[in-house]
Amino acid sequence: MIDKEHVRSLAEREQTDAVRLRRHLHACPELSFSEERTAAFIAEELRASGIEARVDDTTHGIVALVAGGGTADGPIVALRADMDALPIDEDEGREYRSTNDGVMHACGHDGHMASVLTAGRILLALRDELPGTIKLIFQPAEERAPGGALAMIESGVLESPRVDRVFGQHVNTELPVGTVGFASGLFMASADEFYIAVRGRGGHAAKPHQAIDPVVIASTLVVTLQQIISRNADPTIPSVLTFGRFTANGAANVIPDTVEMAGTFRTFDDRWREEAIERIRETTESLVTMLGGEAEIRIVRGYPALFNDPQTTGSARARAVDYLGEQCVVDLRPEMWAEDFAYYGRHRPSCFYNLGVRNEERGIVHPVHTSRFDLDEDALRIGSGLLAWIAIGALESAANEGDRRR
């Protein structure tokens, strides 16, 4: 039986290098499905540590194995990290600031990679005692639908060898460093995107009767589509429809020809998801036509709702309490965020939990997806050690279950 104090000491020993890894990755961000240099760096670090790693030249995804001693047919647990960054200009001031203009690790994926890589090193040091194998998954394109998880699953990442459980963690800027959060069952929403062009006929602002004003039509459409949520959704099913882009390239005295809109629809219910998408399509086409315009709508299907397997999550939470103490583990409510980790949960029992990275004394308080996001790097020691401890527990539990069945 592996002792948690040993895991803690290994995480502490690796902390300086974990910070080095995170800062290098933070300074060299790459966008979704373009993570070539990132993948090369991670693979090199894994191999230098003695961990077998394979890189997919098409997706840049990485699969690495830490095999326990003498357990070729033992259980297999996967730990997943995402690799891509966001198209955001980072604020000045940090010594490890992004060197790639307009691209930033503003969602903590640099910390996710450093934590999983470091957890792999911890587990490698304990491999003679592991009753199974750990599969490390470094995945591209979490930030861009349809997501890198789907591509990796379709290419067999959960097979050869077959994975029994999947675990992942994500930074949370609302949780103080030193804490972690878990949610059993439905945790995050599905997310689909809409790109709508409303075409009218431009003209002089003084003579709107000679034009077909796409601004008025598009404005009416935004308000009308909200009624799909308020008047068609079951009030007990959380739903969000948000339009974040509305572009009309006219002027104070110019009615434009076209308005372009982009939005997202999120929910937890698969059946309502399908119904709402069809209602949005039908309403867009019929309303715009009725008002004299033409509509072009493109729907990008995003991630399904993320479901944390209750048994897997309960066991992981118990391991976190054992490792950190009851006072450092909190229960989270479902959120309307979205994550392509959800795909793993559609194929294997999985648990996706949150790692606290907030430190108000140091000014580390800014949300993800913003130019001032940062994380308290003490979270790397906690995150890597806890990932390793949860993986060990899952292997031991699966091995014991196998022994009982035999």
What is the per-residue pLDDT for 70?
58
Residue 405 has pLDDT above 50, yes or no: no
Q: State the residue for tokens 């647990």.
A: 77
Residue 73 has pLDDT above 90, yes or no: no
Q: Which of 14, 45, 84, 143 is catalytic?
A: 84
Q: Which of 14, 35, 142, 339 is catalytic?
A: 142
Chain Cα centroid distance, residue 85: 11
Compute the distance between CA of residue 340 and CA of residue 110 in angstroms, rounded to an integer.
17
Q: What are the domain boundaries of the chain?
A: 4-187+305-405, 190-300
Compute the distance between CA of residue 255 and CA of residue 264 in angstroms, rounded to an integer.
27
Q: What is the mean pLDDT of the chain?
A: 96
The pLDDT tens digits for 100-120 are: 999 999 999 999 999 999 999
What CATH class has 190-300? alpha beta
The pLDDT tens digits for 239-270 are: 999 999 999 999 999 999 999 999 999 999 99
The pLDDT tens digits for 192-224 are: 999 999 999 999 999 999 999 999 999 999 999
> Is 14 a residue of the active site?
no
* CATH number of 4-187+305-405, picked from 3.30.160.270, 3.40.630.10, 3.40.50.300, 3.40.50.1260: 3.40.630.10
The pLDDT tens digits for 77-94 are: 999 999 999 999 999 889
Pair 72, 339: CB distance under 8 Å: no
Residue 71 has pLDDT above 70, yes or no: no
What is the per-residue pLDDT for 403?
44
Compute the distance between CA of residue 312 and CA of residue 314 in angstroms, rounded to an integer.
6
Q: By percentage, how much of the chain surpasses pLDDT 90?
A: 94
pLDDT range class, residue 67, cuts 50, 70, 90? very high
> Measuring CA to CA, which residue among 276, 259, 234, 76 is closest to residue 163?
76
> Is 84 a residue of the active site?
yes
